[in-house]
Amino acid sequence: MAGAREHGDGGDMLNGAEDTPLPFRRAVEALHGAQLRPEVEVEATRPPQRLAPFTHALEAAVVQDGEDLSDGRLVLLHAPDGHEAWNGTFRLVTLVRAELEPEMAADPLLPEVCWSWLTGAFESRGVEHGEPSATVTLAGSHYFGALASRTPATQIEIRASWTPAEGPGGVPDTAAHLTAWCELICQIAGLPPADSGDAAVLSLRQRRGPQPR
């Protein structure tokens, strides 16, 4: 995986492989074989245990000059017998976060733009999916007393989930979904889309200086 960090605890995708359904194993292998933008660093992390019978999680950060500009987590869920709410046997769940300058956070269209970054990345790459849902949250911080010298900050948080279309053998193209998701975390960091010629995709200028990790 391009830009991958060392795998963390819980990142062994072959753990218990004899009990793991083949479609899930192949979906995880595709995640780890994805070719990503060089600004994105990805590593496996401990997945949640109660959301589905089989889970695998990645965490990622957009890094420039050794500093994080945005970060997020992507979790692959698999229920071999299907899940009524998913309308499928796989589900992808994500949380993405970044800090904004206050004047940009005041833009009333910002939540819609953020959601369009993900759906636009799907569309531009032909990534098939269904049952999408999302919440975009803005949270502001103001500092007083001993912290009064700090600049007010606003954090944006995107929580989303969707059902990836299943291909041959019931395996979704998770590499394509990961690539599209990484486009979201790059754009929320203020980077232009990978396809800079796509006029349909809006991009905000880089919103803040690099923050310590």
Is the CA virtual torsion 142, 136, 4, 208 positive or negative? negative
> pTM for the full model?
0.81
Chain segment 93-106, per-residue pLDDT in tens:
999 998 877 677 77
Residue 140 forms part of a structural domain: yes
- Residue 49 domain boundaries: 17-188
Residue 212 forms part of a structural domain: no
Residue 169 forms part of a structural domain: yes
Residue 182 forms part of a structural domain: yes
Question: How many domains does the chain fold into?
Answer: 1
Q: Could you please report the per-residue DSSP string of 184-197?
A: HHHHHTTPPPSSTT
Residue 100 forms part of a structural domain: yes
Distance of CA 83 to the CA centre of its chain: 22
What is the C-alpha separation between 100 and 104, in angstroms, rounded?
6
Within 10 Å of residue 86's Cβ, how many Cβ atoms?
20
The larger pLDDT score, comparing residue 118 to residue 94, is at 94
- Position 201 scores a pLDDT of 40
Chain segment 5-63, per-residue pLDDT in tens:
433 334 444 444 568 899 999 999 999 999 888 899 999 999 988 889 999 999 999 98
Residue 10 forms part of a structural domain: no
Lowest mean pLDDT among 79-83, 111-115, 125-129, 193-197: 193-197
Residue 111 forms part of a structural domain: yes
Residue 195 forms part of a structural domain: no
